[in-house]
Every structure is written in structure tokens, then in C-alpha cells.
Amino acid sequence: MNVILVCAHGVSTGMFSRRLNQEARKRGMTDFSSQAVSYLDVDQYIKEADVVLVGPQVRIIQSKLKALCESQGIQCLELDAQDFGTMNVGRIMTELKSLSEIDKESE
């Protein structure tokens, strides 16, 4: 699963992305990778994504990001501000894993 985290400049989501990658390794999810990108650069990375996580900083453009994702057949989720602020990667990883399982069931 390739996850892109979108925020204003990619700094705070970069930390979140590193923690997601660490959590995936702990869980033995060898096919998982995440990276943080600025909303200004999302067009360059969107085609590589299975899921796009929208950071609280760019919530104002979530509807545009969601439309872009839907046009590409990509899941788009808003990161909960509290989970993001506390770096609760465990909860987000569980949510991502359940999305992955749903996708496998629909194949």
C-alpha cells in the first residue's frame, strides 16, 4: 500500500509519515510505504498512491483533493486533528489496514 500524506509544506506530515512507516515495519507490513507531500505537488504523486491522507492544515481544500482522488480511483481520508497532533499512528494504521482488507474483498 502506497500512502501519500498531503499538507501545506510536508514538514509535520513528514514526521507522521516516518512514524507510519515504522509502525508498518513493526506490524510486518512489507508492502507499505508512505510519504509526505505539499498540496502544491500532489499532482506529481497522486498516480502512485493507493490512499491519500489529508492533513488538518489543508482541510480547506479537502473537497478538491477528494474529487481528484475519486477521478483516479484512489481512497481519500482526512486525518483526524487529534490523531495527527498526538502522532497516533496506531489508530491510523488500523484504519488503513481495514481499507486494504475491504479492497481485497471487492476484487
Closest CA to 4 of 31, 16, 64, 30: 16
Cell reading at 65: 483533493
Q: At what angle do helices 89-106 and 12-26 cross, to 10 degrees?
A: 70
Q: Catalytic residue, from 3, 7, 54, 93: name it.
A: 7
Q: Is 69 a catalytic residue?
A: no
The Cα–Cα gap between 12 and 17 comes to: 9
Helix (H, G, I), strand (E, B) or coil at 78: strand
**Which amino acid belongs to residue 27?**
R
Catalytic site positions: 7
